[in-house]
Chain A
């Protein structure tokens, strides 16, 4: 039976951006407030799952043509690479570095290599969740 999903689809289009930008906020706020890579990744994955529910698996794959296995691989490489940077400057493995920079729009900002490690965690969580859901949902 062909049903008319216009309300669900239109709401999903708007709510997707609210959830996604909230996930980005959680990710960047993780150093000083509750949040971080894991929660941000899960919220991002739930935003994509909302699109999958409202539309279709193939439509979402056309919209975001991403192979999530590669996202997991990139995340793992990023996390390992961040941990391995310190070995090149004769520091123990997993030593993090931070400094204060004056960026043009943000003013005085502290940039920390832990954010790169968190980005790796974020990509792994998004990739794993979306792989699980695509694999289960694609079962025909």
Chain B
């Protein structure tokens, strides 16, 4: 039972760590703000959620202590992480940050064309 529990804990924490390393590599290597926020929001949210799940299983199965606060943290991160990235990317677009030069499609440009001209960004 202990071996099974430890395998579960090590699996979740390793997966989380892997996703966070991928996040950091994406933040360094990707060309513009939007693809960086794509990397940062998705994979870091999943990584932190996996690490929290690993911690939760460790305390539940090995220490016999059921901690619902960690599950609440997982739900909270799952809700707020992507919304934070959405708000940051959207405000960057409204503030006039240009996408990468290789971008082929920009649907939001049509939406903001008249409005952005008035603000003279």
Contact = CB atoms under 8 A, between A and B. Distances in A.
A105 interface: no
B48 to A, nearest CB: 16
Given A7-B83, A7-B86, A8-B83, A15 B76 contact: yes
Contacts of B28: none
A18 interface: yes
A129 to B, nearest CB: 20
B76 A1 contact: no
Interface residues of B, number: 13
Interface in B46-90: 69, 72, 75-76, 79-80, 83, 86-87
Interface of A: 1, 3, 7-8, 11, 14-15, 18, 22, 25
14 contacts: A1-B94, A1-B115, A1-B118, A3-B94, A7-B83, A7-B86, A8-B83, A8-B87, A11-B79, A11-B83, A15-B76, A15-B79, A18-B76, A25-B69
Closest 3 CB pairs of A and B: A11-B83, A1-B115, A18-B76
